[in-house]
Structure 1
Amino acid sequence: MMKLKKLDEKNSTGIAKDILENVKSKMGMIPNMFAYMANNPALLKSYLETEKNFREHAGFSSVEQEVILLSVSIENECTYCVAAHSFIAKNQSNVPEEVVKSLREGKEIKDKKLAALQVLTKEIVKTKAYPSQESLDEFKNQGYLDEQYLGVLTGIALKSMSNYFNHMNETIVDDAFSDFKWEKN
């Protein structure tokens, strides 16, 4: 485990301080992951900019975004991100409860379009971007475009940064997300 200092807007300097002040003003808190990522502002800034780009330009609804982000986090067994994105799914993105439950339990989603997104996302992570033609075909059959395939890759890149960081740091789940704690199988 790394021995990073937990930073906030008071004990940080430079770009890290600016980023953390901005996070706190927008979220009302500094999540533990950000407080530790700030030890390397390049990582935190890259994460936040990639998240913004994913949210605004990847071509997915907020529900679909959370299906991607939770699928990656579960596949990568990131207890921190599964808790955080379960919270976001319920409280900010209006993801149906049965969808979040299926994702968290490792079951396929009943909604065919979301299931195609879930299956493709998981396959890309598992196979290091060599998904089956069947998964790609089902993704397209459900109405997704080739451009959105690239959006899935953006979501995977985003969560890979945070999932791997949280594994290395053993980041503790924030109290705000504690109702959504998740244990890997």
Structure 2
Amino acid sequence: MTRVTVHTPETAPKESSNELAALGKQFGKVLNIHGAMAHSPVVLQSYVALQQVIGDYGTFDARTREAIALVVGNVDECTYCQSAHTVGAKAAGLSEDQTIAIRNGNIDFDDKLSTLLELTRQATANKGSVKDADWQTALDAGWSDTELTELSTHVALNLFTNYFNHLLDTDLDIPAAPSL
């Protein structure tokens, strides 16, 4: 059971209520993660701010963003995020089998994406460190150094939500990701 109150826009602190209402509208309901984040305005506002910056300046399409999130969630063993981003990845055009392959690290359907996700897996598992050869492989596959730099923000955002879910033991209120 989630360790804190899962707020609605009506019960949230006033500094969280508008953002929580907007997230509820975006997702069709207030998700448990967002309602729990609303408990602390600094948490919800940080999450919203990172999402906004990515939306305003990010270079990755939705499919790539969701694939990154699936890798981070898998490496970090976040059930909630793997589930949420499986839903998001399917909405962004990936099949369920592809979401499983991404989580398993067996991406055979997109060589360019595979190189980016290998860096994502390494960065998540190794506190940001990646192998020089794999960085170069990603560049050779067509990713720019701007995109590879941006990857750090996506990893950080997803670690933020993963750690939040681990800390608060967020109850799953969306379809569970397929077992691996």
TM-score by structure 2 length?
0.91
Secondary structure of 1:108's aligned partner: coil
Secondary structure class of the residue paired with 1:159 = helix
Query: Counterpart in 1 of 2:58?
Result: 58
CA shift for structure 1 position 2 = 7.2
Matched residue, 1:74: 74
Q: AA paired with 1:162?
A: T
Question: Is the 1:79–1:182 contact (alpha carbons within 8 Å) kept by the matching residues of 2?
Answer: no
User: Is the CA contact (8 Å cut-off) linking 1:173 and 1:181 kept in structure 2?
Assistant: no
Q: Map 1:1-185 onto structure 2 (within 5 A).
A: 3-91=3-91, 93-104=92-103, 106-110=104-108, 111-174=110-173, 177-178=174-175, 180-182=176-178
What's the offset of the Cα at 1:9?
1.3
* CA offset digits 1:112-152 (Å, max 9, x no partner): 11110110101011111220011101110110011111211
What is the alpha-carbon distance in structure 2 between the residues aligned to residue 52 and residue 43 of structure 1?
Answer: 14
Q: For 2:150 and 2:95, locate their aligned partners in 1 and report how far apart those are by CA, in whole Å.
A: 22
Other structure's SS at 1:23 match: helix
Q: CA deviation at 1:57?
A: 2.1
Q: Is the 8 A contact 1:63 1:95 kept in 2?
A: yes
Which residue identity is paired with 1:79?
Answer: T
Gaps of 5+ in 2: none
CA distance in 2, matches of 1:95, 1:78: 20
Q: Identity percentage over the alignment?
A: 26
Contact 2:7 2:38 in 1 (8 A): yes
Name the aligned partner's letter for residue 83 of structure 1: S
* Paired residue secondary structure (1:80): helix
Residue type of the partner of 2:113? L
- Paired with 2:28 and 2:129, the residues of 1 have a C-alpha distance of 40
- Opposite residue 107 of structure 1, the aligned amino acid is G
Unaligned runs of 5+ in 1: none
Equivalent residues of 1:58, 1:150 under 8 A apart: no
Larger relative contact order, structure 1 or 2 (CA cutoff 8 Å, min sep 6): 1
TM-score of the aligned structures, taking structure 1 as reference length: 0.89
**AA paired with 1:62?**
A
Name the CA shift for 1:33/1:151 in 2 (closer, same or farther; >3 Å): same
How many equivalent pairs are there? 179
Amino acid of the residue matched to residue 3 of structure 2? Answer: K
Aligned residue for 1:118, secondary structure, equals helix
